[in-house]
C-alpha cells in the first residue's frame, strides 16, 4: 500500500480512482489544518521561541529521504572545525529511548549511547560521522535546544524541522530532490507535501539535491525566487561492513540490494551502475531489521549491497550472515560556505 501511495504522489500510478478520491478528500482536511496552524503563527497567537544560540534548520517539504542527514553532518563538521560549539538536535525517530525528555547521545567528549536500536539510525549515524559535535534527541525540539545550550553549544543544527514552528530559526535551508521535486504538488495523503508550496517563502535558501548525475534543475519561479544552491551526492566508495575493507565495483559481480530509506530507487540506481544487480528488497523507512530478515535475503545472494544509513543497524547481525554485506558511502559536494553566508 505504501508503494502504491508513493506512486500516486509522483504521478506514476494510473487508475485507483476511488482510492485517489479518498486520499484527495483527506488532503483537503490536512491542508486546512496546516493553513490554520501557520496563520496562528503569523498573527502571533502561536509563538516561535528564540533560544540563545544560532539555529540552523535543515528540512524538506516532502515526505521521504532527500539527503538531510549527510548535509547536516557536513554543516556541523564545517562549523566545528571553525571552533564553534555545535549540537545537532533530532527527533530520534524509531529509537527505543523514551524521547519525552532530551537524551544526550553524544557530548563534546564523545559518544555516550552507542546503540542504534536505542538512539535510532539517523542520530547514531550523525554521532559516528561528526567530530566534536553533540547529538541530542527529543520529541520536543525546544527542550532539545535548551539541553544543547546547557552543554555549551552556541550553534544548533536542527535535523528535519521545517514544519516544526516551535523554534525561531536563524537560517532555514529547504532541501529539494532535483528529480522528484514536489511530486503531484498536493499535500498529504494525496500528495507528498507536508505543507503547501507557498510555505517555501519561510525558507532562506533552497538546496537542490542532485543524485545519479541528475541536472533536471529547479527554476527560481518554482521556489518563490529563493536562492538555489546545488548540492551533489557522489558515490565515494563501497566497503565490507564486517571488515571495513574497501570493495571495488565490478559489473560482472552479481549482487542483491536492500535498504530502509525514504527514496530507495535512487540508491538502487547507484548500485546498478557498478554491479550486476539481480534483485532489490525495500523496507519501510527506518525499519529495524531482524536477524531472520537479513539471513533470508543473504540466502539468495552471496553479496548484498546496502546504504551507510542501514549499515549502522546491522552490526549485530552481520557476523551471523555467511555472505558479504557491502555498504555504499556517499559524499556531499557543495559549497558549505555559501550555504552559511560565510
pLDDT (tens digit per residue) in 28-43? 999 999 999 999 999 9
Q: How far apart are the first and last CA of the chain?
A: 45
pLDDT at 212: 67
E-strand ranges in 10-75 read 54-60
Please state, for a pLDDT cut of 70, what percent of the chain lies above it.
Answer: 99
* Of 214, 263, 249, 254, residue with least CA distance to 234: 214
* 260 in the same domain as 132: no
Q: How many CA atoms lie within 13 A of 251 on its CB side?
A: 1
Mark which of 225, 249, 268 sits at the end of a domain.
225
Instruction: Determine, yes or no, domain membership for 218.
Output: yes
* 253 in the same domain as 221: no
Buried/exposed code over 56-65 (b: 16+ C-beta within 10 A; e: otherwise): bbbbbbbbbb
pLDDT at residue 145 tops 70: yes
* 124 in the same domain as 206: yes
* 64 in the same domain as 138: yes
Containing structural domain, residue 115: 54-225
For the chain, what's the residue count? 342
Question: What is the average per-residue pLDDT within 139-154?
Answer: 97
3-state secondary structure of 147: helix
pLDDT at 215: 63
CATH number for 133 = 3.40.50
* 209 in the same domain as 242: no
Contacts of 61 (CB under 8 A, 6+ apart): 162, 174, 176, 182, 193, 194, 195, 197, 199, 200
- Mean pLDDT over the full length of the chain: 93
* 130 in the same domain as 106: yes
Contact 75, 56 (CB under 8 A): yes
Q: What is the dihedral of CA 29, 30, 34, 40, to 10 degrees?
A: 40
Mark which of 198, 225, 252 sits at the end of a domain.
225
Instruction: Determine, yes or no, domain membership for 212.
Output: yes
* 197 in the same domain as 176: yes
Instruction: Determine, yes or no, domain membership for 38.
Output: no
Q: How many domains does the chain have?
A: 2
How does residue 59 score in pLDDT terms, banded at 50, 70 and 90?
very high
The pTM assigned to this predicted structure is 0.92
* 141 in the same domain as 221: yes
pLDDT at 55: 98
Q: What is the pLDDT of residues 195-226, one digit of tens each?
A: 999 999 999 999 999 986 666 678 888 899 99
Helices 121-128, 68-81: crossing angle, 10 deg rounding: 30
Mark which of 182, 197, 225 sits at the end of a domain.
225
* 280 in the same domain as 192: no
Amino acid at each position: 500500500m505504501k508503494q502504491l501511495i508513493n506512486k500516486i504522489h509522483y504521478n506514476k500510478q494510473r487508475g485507483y480512482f476511488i482510492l485517489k478520491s479518498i486520499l484527495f478528500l483527506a488532503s483537503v482536511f490536512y491542508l486546512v489544518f496546516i493553513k490554520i496552524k501557520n496563520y496562528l503563527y503569523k498573527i502571533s497567537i502561536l509563538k516561535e521561541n528564540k533560544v540563545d544560540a544560532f539555529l540552523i534548520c535543515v528540512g524538506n517539504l516532502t515526505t521521504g529521504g532527500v539527503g538531510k542527514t549527510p548535509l547536516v553532518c557536513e554543516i556541523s563538521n564545517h562549523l566545528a572545525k571553525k571552533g564553534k560549539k555545535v549540537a545537532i538536535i533530532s527527533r530520534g525517530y524509531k529509537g527505543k529511548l523514551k524521547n519525552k525528555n532530551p537524551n544526550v547521545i553524544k557530548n563534546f567528549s564523545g559518544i555516550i549511547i552507542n546503540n542504534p536500536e536505542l538512539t535510532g539510525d539517523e542520530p547514531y549515524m550523525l554521532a559516528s560521522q561528526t567530530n566534536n559535535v553533540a547529538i541530542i534527541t527529543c520529541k520536543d525540539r525546544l527542550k532539545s535546544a535548551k539541553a544543547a545550550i546547557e552543554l555549551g553549544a552556541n550553534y544548533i543544527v536542527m535535523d528535519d524541522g521545517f514544519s516544526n514552528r516551535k523554534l525561531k530559526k536563524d537560517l532555514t535551508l529547504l532541501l529539494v530532490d532535483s528529480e522528484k521535486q514536489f511530486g503531484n504538488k498536493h499535500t498529504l495523503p494525496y500528495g507528498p507535501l507536508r505543507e503547501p508550496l507557498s510555505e517555501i517563502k519561510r525558507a532562506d535558501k533552497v538546496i537542490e539535491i542532485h543524485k545519479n548525475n541528475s541536472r533536471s534543475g529547479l527554476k527560481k519561479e518554482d521556489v518563490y525566487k529563493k536562492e538555489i544552491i546545488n548540492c551533489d551526492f557522489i558515490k565515494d566508495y563501497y566497503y565490507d561492513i564486517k571488515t571495513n575493507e574497501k570493495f571495488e565495483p565490478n559489473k560482472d559481480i552479481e549482487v542483491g540490494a536492500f535498504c530502509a530509506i525514504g527514496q530507495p530507487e535512487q540508491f538502487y540506481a547507484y548500485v546498478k551502475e557498478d554491479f550486476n544487480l539481480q534483485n532489490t528488497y525495500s523496507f519501510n523507512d527506518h525499519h529495524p531489521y531482524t536477524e531472520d530478515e537479513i539471513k533470508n535475503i543473504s540466502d539468495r545472494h552471496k553479496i548484498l549491497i546496502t546504504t551507510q544509513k542501514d549499515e549502522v543497524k546491522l552490526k549485530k547481525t552481520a557476523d551471523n550472515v555467511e555472505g558479504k554485506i557491502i555498504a555504499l558511502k556517499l559524499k556531499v559536494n557543495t559549497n558549505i560556505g555559501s550555504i552559511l553566508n560565510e
